[in-house]
Structure 1
Amino acid sequence: MKPTPSGKKVYLDIVHQLRDMIEHDGLKTGDKIPSERELSERLNVGRSSVREALRALELLGLIETRRGEGTFLRDFRDHQLVELLSTFILQDNDVRCDVLHTKQLLEKDCLRLVAENRDLHASGLATVAEMLENDYFLTEEEFLKAIIFLSKNRLLTKIWVILNQYHSNLTSSKPLSDHEFPKKLVEALAAGDQSKVIQIYEEMQKLSKLP
């Protein structure tokens, strides 16, 4: 096992190792990943730390746990919807703005859901806050993705993933260099203050447009 960087939680280091392992093993979406016990032995770490790392990956939407079956790499591809959206985009050059606007509407709805059910998402929000503190998120997109997956609304999340994929192809990802607004957003979500959440989110979007 790699030495854990000072000041960081063990499980965050394991998260990075797991992502490297998935890439090294050539695992694809839908593939089953090793069990907690196998990962613990392979990475030479405790099972509780592996469990926390898997939870973080699930929070980011990278894996899903199926009761009685195991843990699998997540696949949000919906070929019919992708094909429909592709056709729509190719037929209208001005639709990029519509994609961005719809994506932002979905993000606001997901944020409201998390704030509305803050008690259910308290541990997840705490994990996101800790990952922010340890500079885990490299881009604003990664941060928002973690929050959106917390909403537990599969349909909204599935549509967002597809829209975000198209939007990412059209624009470069914004580095998450300033953690002030993301931290405020997590705090507002934990407090269940929906109006404050949307206000902070909109301020983040304005900053994202700056060069």
Structure 2
Amino acid sequence: MNESSSNSSKLYLDIVNHLREMIEKDGLKPGDRLPSERSLSERLNAGRSSVREALRALELLGLIETKKGEGTFLRDFQGHSLVQLISTFVLQDEKAKLDVLETKDFIQLNCLQIAMEKMTEKELAEIAEWVYSDMVSESDFFFRIVQIADNYLLFRLWTILKDYYFSLGFPNVYWSKEDYLLLLDNIKSKNEQDLIMNYRKKKQT
């Protein structure tokens, strides 16, 4: 696993897949404790910050839970039927495929607005530097934004809808560095009106 990869969402998925394989191999069940962050980092051959980010995402998705002073535990997620529900919805209705796109865009815009209130100056500077230095896809960028919004349900919905978006064959929208930086500038200046306008303008191109 390449720790220097600039694709944060791919790295996250790599770690999640390794975690899944490890859980199956070790026979872990709901309620069992996961190895420590350091142990996972060594076992998965990944940096601790990347492991921490993946664990945070899994916790937001409701797949694991962290108990202060006790550790991280596997949750019983077998009853979570959201994936199956959306899958059935999409397969039964052609219009629903466009609804996936519309809902994903709605969540991304909503998370931009939430991030405007929650994003720290340090986070803003880090994301701006990342955008300057790397080729950043729409999914990469909004993965960071949705995480900062720190809303369990929005994160879970966005992750699932994003995966369906690509599986349904929608084209990958090109975002330039200037597009991202414009949104970040709107967030920095807390100009919600321009933030909404610039996001919608980009999605209409």
Q: CA deviation at 1:78?
A: 7.4
Partner amino acid, structure 2, of 1:181: D
Whole-Å separation in 2 of the counterparts to 1:72 and 1:129: 34
Per-residue displacement from partner, 1:39-96 (whole Å, max 9, x unpaired)? Answer: 58x97xxxxxx5655666678x4787934456799xx997411112222222211211
Counterpart in the other structure of 2:150: 152
1:86 aligns with 2:93: no
Counterpart in the other structure of 2:130: 131
Q: Is the 8 A contact 1:56 1:127 kept in 2?
A: no
Q: Is the 8 A contact 2:147 2:155 kept in 1?
A: yes
Counterpart in the other structure of 2:141: 143
TM-score normalised to structure 2 length: 0.67
Q: Is the 8 A contact 2:41 2:48 kept in 1?
A: no
1:28 aligns with 2:20: yes
Aligned length: 187
Q: Secondary structure at the match of 1:171?
A: coil
Q: CA deviation at 1:35?
A: 3.2
Q: 2:202 aligns with which of 201, 204, 207?
A: 204
Change (3 A) 1:72 1:199: farther
Q: Is the 8 A contact 1:189 1:197 kept in 2?
A: yes
Q: List gaps (5 residues or longer) in structure 2.
A: 24-33
Q: 2:159 aligns with which of 156, 161, 169?
A: 161
Change (3 A) 1:56 1:80: closer
Q: CA deviation at 1:163?
A: 1.6
Q: Secondary structure at the match of 1:166?
A: helix
TM-score normalised to structure 1 length: 0.65
Partner amino acid, structure 2, of 1:35: E
Structural mapping, 1:5-154, within 5 Å: 22=15, 26-28=18-20, 32=34, 35-36=37-38, 39=41, 61=57, 66=66, 67-68=68-69, 79-118=80-119, 121-135=120-134, 137=136, 139-154=137-152
Q: List gaps (5 residues or longer) in structure 1.
A: 3-10, 44-49
Whole-Å separation in 2 of the counterparts to 1:151 and 1:101: 19
